[in-house]
Amino acid sequence: MRDQKSIKRTITRYDQGEFSQVEDDIVTEFPLTIYINEEEFATMVCTPAHLEEMVIGFLASEGVIRFRREIKNFQIDEEQGFAYIEIEGKINTQRDFSKRFIGSCCGKSRQFYFQNDVQTTKTSTSKTTITADQCIKLMKMMQATSHVFKGTGGVHNAAICTGDEMIVGRADIGRHNALDKLYGHCLLNQISVRDKVLVFSGRISSEVLTKAAKIGVGIVLSKSAPTDLAIDLAHDLNITAVGFIRGGSFNVYSHPERITM
C-alpha cells in the first residue's frame, strides 16, 4: 500500500469519432482513521503516501501537538487504514475543534475561524523577499516535478521552497492533506519555515491561507485565484498572497513589499 499513488484501470475512451479500450492511470483514494489515546479523532481521505508526515502535520495544525516528540507512540496500520497515536494528557473534544469562532483577527477585522484556529494560527514575522522572476521560476519548478498530476490529473500539489530551489514537494487528492504533509515533513526534519515560500497548485481559500499561517510561511504562491476572505486574512496575518502565476504574469493580493523586481 505504501506510496501507491495511482493504479491502472481499463476504461473506454472516445476520440475522433471512435471508442477504444485503454489503460489509464487513476489516482488512489484511501481513508485513514486517526485514533488518539484510543479514541477516534478524525478520518482523512487521502493519497496513501507520506502518511506519517500527513498525520503529524494535521495534528500540529489542529493544535493537538506542537512537536513530534510530544507523541509517545505512533503506529499506522496501512492494510486496515488506521493510525494509532498516544500522547500525554487529554485533548480537546472534537466539538471544540469544529466549533465556529467569530472574533477580531489581529485587532483589524472580524474573520471566520474554528475554535482551534484561534490558538494555532500565527501572524507571519517573515522578512523574506523574492523577485518576480523567482515567483514564476518556483511555480514552474513545482509543476515540473508533479508527476502524479501529470499521470492522473487528480491531485493537488504543494511545495516548500527557498527563493531559488524546492526543498520538498507533496501531492494529495486533498489540498489540505498536501499542506499537512509539508508541515509534517518540516516538523520531522526540523526545517524552519519562517523564511520559506509555500507554492501551491490550487486556489487560495481562507482554509488554505489559514493552514499556511499555521505552517508559518510569509509568502504563498498559487497558479489559481484567491477568495475575498483569504485576501482579508492574508492582510491581517501579514502574509503575501500571489495568485494566477501563469506564463510570465501574476497578481499580488496582499503585502506586495515582499515581491521585488
- Known catalytic residues are 106
- Residue 224 CA to residue 217 CA, distance in Å, equals 18
| CA proximity to 199, closest of 224, 169, 220 | 220
- Residue 23 CA to residue 221 CA, distance in Å, equals 34
Burial of residue 38 (CB within 10 Å: 0-12, 13-18, 19+) is exposed
Which residues is 109 bridged to in the sheet?
105
CB contact burial 46-82 (16+ within 10 A = b; e otherwise): bbbbbbebbbbbbbbbbbbbeebeebeeeebeeeebb
Q: Helices marked H in 37-129 — which ranges?
A: 51-61, 94-98, 115-120
- Residue 79 CA to residue 31 CA, distance in Å, equals 11
Query: Measuring CA to CA, how many Å separate 174 from each of 77, 144, 157?
Result: 20, 20, 9
